[in-house]
Amino acid sequence: MRKLILTFISILFIGCAFAQTKDAAAAKNSPETVVVKHRLTDSVIERFNVLKVNRGIRQGLYQALYQKNYALASGYYDNDKRTGVWHFFDNRGHLVQNFDYRTNQITYEAPEDSTSNLQYFVDVKLNDTAKTTKPLKVGGRFFGYLPYLNLFKLPPELMNLNPNVSFGAVELLISPLGRLASFKVHVYSGSYEKTFNMSIDVPDPADKIFVPATVNGQAVSCRVVIKCGFRNDGGLEFY
């Protein structure tokens, strides 16, 4: 019995040593990374890892943080591509969406309440029995729409608008195919109103793609309107 126990302990020791050697080899062979921080807006900072030998390649954990307190996005990169399940939150830390990059599917979308900054307008007449779904954007209702807000700044001649009576509205038209068809920014200040037509050739091709709205199971065009405030530098931010 003593000999049997000693044999078992020896096998266990060899197994643990092998596992530790394997983990050490994996750590040694994994690419070395460095942490990069980048400010997306006045209130949002993204933090991610890049390869030390090529800082244009993201590798490992990515996080976007709102006012350094709440995560807006969390997930992993593998060789500059998003991988696995990513989690997206609103600016109060509530989970609003999960997206699985292995299957390219939204696996969870939180219900939207009346406090949302987003409004939806379909281009068909609705009756009381119509069953509708809204357009969906990968990244959820906060992080997913930040790229459009970041593409606009007030021109110099409008920088003196009274901030107490001024606001902006981003208007996106999403086609029945789930493509960005129109991108506008409306500026309101008291009785003043001006519309800026923005290019739909946005920097990231992924920001041209949506899950389209539907009415009774049929894909339809839908306008998404996002009410925004103005930052001191003339940029847009969520209310």
Question: What is the per-residue pLDDT across 172-201, written as a single tens digit (0 to 9) for each?
Answer: 999 999 999 999 999 999 999 999 999 999
pLDDT band at 2 (very low <50, low <70, confident <90, very high): very low
pLDDT over 60 at 164, yes or no: yes
Mean pLDDT of the region 116-141: 93
pLDDT at 29: 53
pLDDT for 30 equals 64
Comparing 170 with 22, the larger pLDDT belongs to 170
Q: Quick check: 12 pLDDT over 90? A: no
Residue 15 scores a pLDDT above 70: no
Higher pLDDT pick, 120 / 22: 120
Torsion of CA 199, 168, 215, 87, to 10 degrees: 80
Residue 77: its pLDDT value, please?
Answer: 97
Provide the sign of the torsion angle of the four alpha carbons 110, 114, 115, 117, taken in this order. positive
Q: What percent of the chain has pLDDT over 90?
A: 75
Average pLDDT of the chain? 88
Contact 48, 62 (CB under 8 A): yes
Q: Is the pLDDT of residue 18 over 60?
A: no
- pLDDT at residue 134 greater than cutoff 80: yes
pTM flag (> 0.85): no
Q: Are strands 218-220 and 118-122 parallel, antiparallel or unpaired?
A: unpaired
The answer for residues whose C-beta is within 8 angstroms of residue 101's C-beta and 6 or more apart is: 75, 81, 82, 83, 84, 85, 86
- As a whole number of angstroms, the distance between CA 116 and CA 113 comes to 6
pLDDT at 159 over 60: yes
The residues, ordered by sequence, that sit 6+ positions from 29 with a Cβ below 8 Å of its Cβ are none
Residue 106: the pLDDT is 97
Quick one: pLDDT at residue 42? 85
Note the pLDDT of residue 50.
Answer: 96
pLDDT digits (tens, 9 = 90+) for 64-83: 999 888 899 999 999 999 99
